[in-house]
Amino acid sequence: MATPPNQLDDLVSQQYRHGFVTDIDADTLPPGLDEDVIRLISRKKQEPSFLLEWRLKAFRHWLTMREPHWAHVRYAPIDYQAISYFSAPKTNKDGPKSLDEVDPKLLATYDKLGVPLHERARLAGVAVDAVFDSVSVATTFKARLAEAGVIFCPFSDAVREHPELVERYLGSVVPTTDNFYAALNSAVFSDGSFVYVPKGVRSPMELSTYFRINEAKTGQFERTLIVADEGSYVSYLEGCSAPQRDENQLHAAVVELVALDDAQIKYSTVQNWYPGDENGVGGIYNFVTKRGECRGRNSRISWTQVETGSAITWKYPSCVLLGDHSVGEFYSVAVANHRQQADTGTKMIHVGRNTRSTIVSKGISAGRAQNTYRGLVKVLPSADGARNYTQCDSLLMGSECGAHTYPYVEVKNPTATLEHEATTSKIGEDQLFYCLQRGLSAEDAINMIVGGFCKSVFKELPMEFAVEAQNLLAVSLEGAVG
């Protein structure tokens, strides 16, 4: 290609921009996991007894489970006893009421990330529930949301202030016995976000959470629960970034969504955790369980994700379409560069009549990365008139990477209509030549072609996220041009 070699070297050797560590005095448990640790977590968080019992039940079940190894990823065995299961910034003890009370060091961290919290909040009108390690430290626009009746708070606050809602919905979509990582999360989850949108309310703003993994050797076990009551609407944005580490960090989050009659939930993610260096050293292990239940008639759940980070991704945001005429959507861009391994996709389970689902997945592999789409579309005998459309495309950049597609299509109802298409190809020499001939640099040309490849997913993202995603994609693929 026409790019001078020294310029390419610069691009290839570019460091992960978000790699830095903020030095904050944290209240961290020593590594290890047993029932006492769970009791301690529960006590520290002043939880009601039903939650402690729930955690213990999950832990006892977890002990009987084995770590799954069916995904197309390889990593060194994880020692679950070498992980610390609780870490809270001490500054949280007084409970900051506003951004002014938040530790300035913390705010500086967000600044470095390019997320000026208050500015962003004011300009974009976004409420931010920032999770720094495990305890939420700042929540904005609470009043405006409260006016509309929307509850948006850290999970631990919800446990104290709305125990009846938590008890009713927690684990109702992802039960404690669901899978190995979900069971572990249920036992030790630290904090996360809780959203409840009451009947007929349209959330006045987009809700946003920035997660960060900060304390060394602390796994993050987020728990998010979003309930959209009848006729309500909410759009939720999740974005992630982590400081550079040489030690692999485990992240096992659980996200549960519940949509009742005529409700709609839009869940968008931009995931940019530390992917490890070009030799595969370090990086986050991301083992996430995300599932939404369309319980009511005409309900709708939409997952949009842009995955560029993590050393290992194991993530299948899913929809269970219970209510008649309910709709599930999954739009995904997964980028894997260097030695990243991503095994991601979705599940659409059609139970109700005339349920519809759409899956659009774009996978990009570069360097020596492995990128896998794994999806299930299941139509049960009760789902008369169910429809699904699936498209999964892979783009390969480099001869040492891999792109894999494992779709499962299971149909038990003759009135269902399902279509699945997949293609795999590399960026065409002719496309590239055309762009270069028009005076674009190789880097810009690739970004443009990849941008076009991903466009159908990006258009589903809220606007400010779409811009960020586009930039992220460009940064992630730096050094992949060859």
Give the x-and-dash track for 245-284 against other proteins (CB under 8 A). ----------------------------------------
**Interaction between residue 143 and other proteins (CB under 8 A):** no
Give the x-and-dash track for 372-411 against other proteins (CB under 8 A). ---------x------------x-xxxxxxxxxxxxxxxx
Q: How far is the CB of 384 from other proteins (least distance, A)?
A: 10
Q: How far is the CB of 270 from other proteins (least distance, A)?
A: 26
- Between the alpha carbon of residue 277 and those of residues 109, 245, 333, the distances in Å are 21, 10, 21
Task: Choose the binding region for other proteins from 6-14, 300-308, 332-340, 415-423 (rule: CB under 8 A).
Answer: 415-423
Q: How far is the CB of 438 from other proteins (least distance, A)?
A: 24
Q: How far is the CB of 406 from other proteins (least distance, A)?
A: 5
Residues numbered 53 to 112 that lie near other proteins (CB under 8 A) are 70
**Interaction between residue 422 and other proteins (CB under 8 A):** yes
Q: 228 vs 416, which CB is nearer to other proteins?
A: 416
CA-closest candidate to residue 449, choices 462, 438, 460: 438
CA-closest candidate to residue 89, choices 98, 102, 70, 80: 102
Of 7, 13, 98, 425, which lies in the binding site for other proteins, with binding defined by CB under 8 A? 425
Number of residues that bind other proteins (CB under 8 A): 34
Task: Choose the binding region for other proteins from 34-42, 100-108, 126-134, 419-427 (rule: CB under 8 A).
Answer: 419-427
Q: How far is the CB of 402 from other proteins (least distance, A)?
A: 5
Q: How far is the CB of 343 from other proteins (least distance, A)?
A: 12
Q: Which residues bind other proteins (CB under 8 A)?
A: 70, 381, 394, 396-426
